[in-house]
Amino acid sequence: MKRLMPGILAMTIVVVVSNILVQHLFGQWLTWGAFTYPFAFLVTDLMNRLYGPQAARRVIYAGFAVGVVCSIIGSQMQGEFGALVSLRVAIASGLAFLCAQLTDVSVFNMLRRLSWWKAPLFASFLGSCLDTAIFFTVAFAAQLSFLEPSNDVAWANEVLPLLGVGPQVPLWVSLGLADWCVKVAIAVIALTPYRAIVWRNTPRVA
């Protein structure tokens, strides 16, 4: 358990900080949390490479538990438009986190014997796709309004040009696309610290 503590601590920091920063906008399409949350994939991949998939899954479950606590706290705090965390957002966040991170572990494990960069990059890429699709669909799609009938998500379904310049789509699609682009960019950037940390801890890794 001792060897998992750095990973659990890092995942906890990522989850808590992201839950705080997601309340603050960065431009028109993003929140500041979009820039911190993707590092959860880096934590998962490092734990997987250094200690194996079971260790990575334990860190993920710890991060999920922290996320649940953050959602409970957020649901009790009032913002300008009501509770900071609605039931739909809480469900979307937890479901997206678990599905995406566990998929990351499985994909990484299948590719772990290939070139050092392939497993973390492809695992993070697929995890990011799944995370974005699940979160924004469950949280904002009008078709899933039955999850929380009292939560008005009409604002997220306003039809606007994609990212302000493309075809007409619901606003949440633009928000999701912008979020996904950041995740993919950070997945590439995170290869540098990933390589450095793995090299430092297991010098013989190719």
CATH class of 2-201: mainly alpha
Distance, in Å, from the CA atom of 203 to the CA atom of 206, rounded to the nearest integer, reads 8
Domain positions in the chain: 2-201
Confirm if 127 and 184 have CB atoms less than 8 A apart.
Answer: no
Q: How far apart are CA 80 and CA 84, in angstroms?
A: 8
Residue 88 near residue 153, CB atoms below 8 Å:
yes
Max Cα-Cα span within the chain: 56
CB of 127 within 8 A of CB of 109? Answer: no
The pLDDT of residue 205 is 39
- Return the pLDDT at 3: 85
pLDDT digits (tens, 9 = 90+) for 105-159: 999 999 999 999 999 999 999 999 999 999 999 999 999 999 999 999 999 999 9
Give the C-alpha separation, 119 to 124, whole Å. 8
Q: What is this structure's pTM?
A: 0.93
User: Residue 84 pLDDT > 60, yes or no?
Assistant: yes
| For the chain, percent of residues with pLDDT exceeding 70 | 96
